[in-house]
């Protein structure tokens, strides 16, 4: 029974061991205090855990900083009350996993899964353990999806910002694309769009044949107090100050 920690195997009832051995999906079993007692090969591989010895008996789901960061610790604890808990689109940054756990170095950005946690009761009806079944939805490397999103922004920068269209161009849902984009670039898609637009304004302001109003109009923006403030916030200069400082360079 190579899938099971030997010490844990002594504690866990035979019927759970048998269920665990035959289960076809990534699966973990925890004691009531949140300590991992069993993990199957499918879960080890998908999560990227280097060894069973580095996880079983050491990892505690209630102390997991990623679980805390996502704000689902109390939700998971409901399983101790006999409830089945569903975590939809549980999104873990692989950088965080490398930072906190003994996982393999892989060229990944995000692991997104649905997780079902359900109680395992003893013959007296008391919750003695609980299980977590993982349905992995996507594993994102990032570069390809982000590249498609960036290209859409660069091609449609004159148009009003539309997060749905950008995400569709990247072949991702809006929420997944936004999370992945921020992890990969450090910016939200909207911030990237605004920065790209500001850079176009800066380029065109160097053309003194155009008035500042014409430059903004060419970038499909009205030259008003709001757009002037936005430019100054991003560049540190007003449009006229920027033109005066850099037009001869």
pLDDT tens readout for residues 190-204: 999 999 999 999 999
CA distance 41 to 25: 9
Question: 222 and 108, same structural domain?
Answer: no
Among 140, 163, 195, residue at a domain's last position: 140
Q: Which of 238, 193, 244, 245 is nearest to 219 (CA)?
A: 193
Over the stretch 13-64, which tens digit does the pLDDT of each residue have? 666 666 666 677 899 999 999 999 999 888 888 888 888 888 999 999 999 9
Q: For 61-70, 95-104, 231-240, which range has the lowest pLDDT when averaged over its residues?
A: 95-104
CATH code, domain with 133: 3.30.450.20
Question: 33 and 19, same structural domain?
Answer: yes
Q: What is the pLDDT of residue 2?
A: 41
- Positive or negative CA dihedral for 7, 11, 15, 20? negative
User: Judging by beta carbons within 10 Å of its beta carbon (0-12, 13-18, 19+), is residue 210 exposed, middle or buried?
Assistant: middle
Question: 153 and 127, same structural domain?
Answer: no
Question: 124 and 20, same structural domain?
Answer: yes
DSSP symbol at 177? H
Question: 99 and 40, same structural domain?
Answer: yes
7, pLDDT greater than 70: no
Within-domain flag for 1 = no
Question: 117 and 52, same structural domain?
Answer: yes
Q: What is the pLDDT of residue 228?
A: 93
Regarding beta strands 85-93 and 110-121, do their DSSP bridges make them parallel or antiparallel, or are they unpaired? antiparallel
Domain that holds residue 169: 143-246
Question: 132 and 157, same structural domain?
Answer: no
Within-domain flag for 46 = yes
Instruction: Report the domain count for the chain.
Output: 2
Cβ pair 234, 202 in contact under 8 A: no
Question: 98 and 84, same structural domain?
Answer: yes
Question: 149 and 124, same structural domain?
Answer: no
Question: 131 and 15, same structural domain?
Answer: yes
DSSP symbol at 156? S
């Amino acid at each position: 029974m190579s899938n099971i920690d030997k010490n844990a195997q002594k504690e866990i009832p035979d019927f759970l061991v048998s269920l665990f051995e035959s289960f076809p999906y990534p699966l973990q079993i925890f004691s009531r205090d949140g300590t991992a007692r069993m993990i199957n090969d499918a879960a080890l591989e998908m999560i990227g855990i280097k060894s069973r010895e580095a996880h079983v008996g050491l990892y505690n789901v209630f102390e997991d900083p990623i679980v805390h960061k996502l704000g689902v610790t109390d939700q998971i604890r409901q399983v101790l009350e006999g409830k089945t808990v569903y975590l939809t689109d549980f999104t873990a940054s692989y950088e965080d996993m490398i930072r906190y756990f003994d996982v393999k170095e892989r060229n990944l950005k995000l692991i997104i899964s649905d997780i079902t946690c359900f109680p395992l009761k003893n013959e007296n009806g008391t919750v003695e353990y609980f299980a977590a079944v993982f349905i992995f939805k996507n594993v994102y490397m990032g570069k390809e999806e982000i590249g498609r999103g960036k290209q859409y922004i660069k091609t449609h920068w004159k148009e009003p910002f539309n997060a749905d269209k950008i995400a569709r161009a990247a072949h991702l849902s809006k929420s997944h694309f936004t999370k992945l984009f921020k992890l990969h670039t450090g910016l939200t898609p909207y911030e990237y769009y605004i920065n790209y637009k500001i850079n176009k304004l800066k380029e065109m302001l160097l053309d003194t044949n155009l008035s500042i109003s014409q430059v903004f109009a060419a970038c499909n923006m009205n030259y008003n107090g709001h757009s002037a403030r936005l430019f100054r916030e991003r560049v540190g200069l007003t449009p006229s100050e920027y033109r005066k400082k850099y037009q001869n360079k």
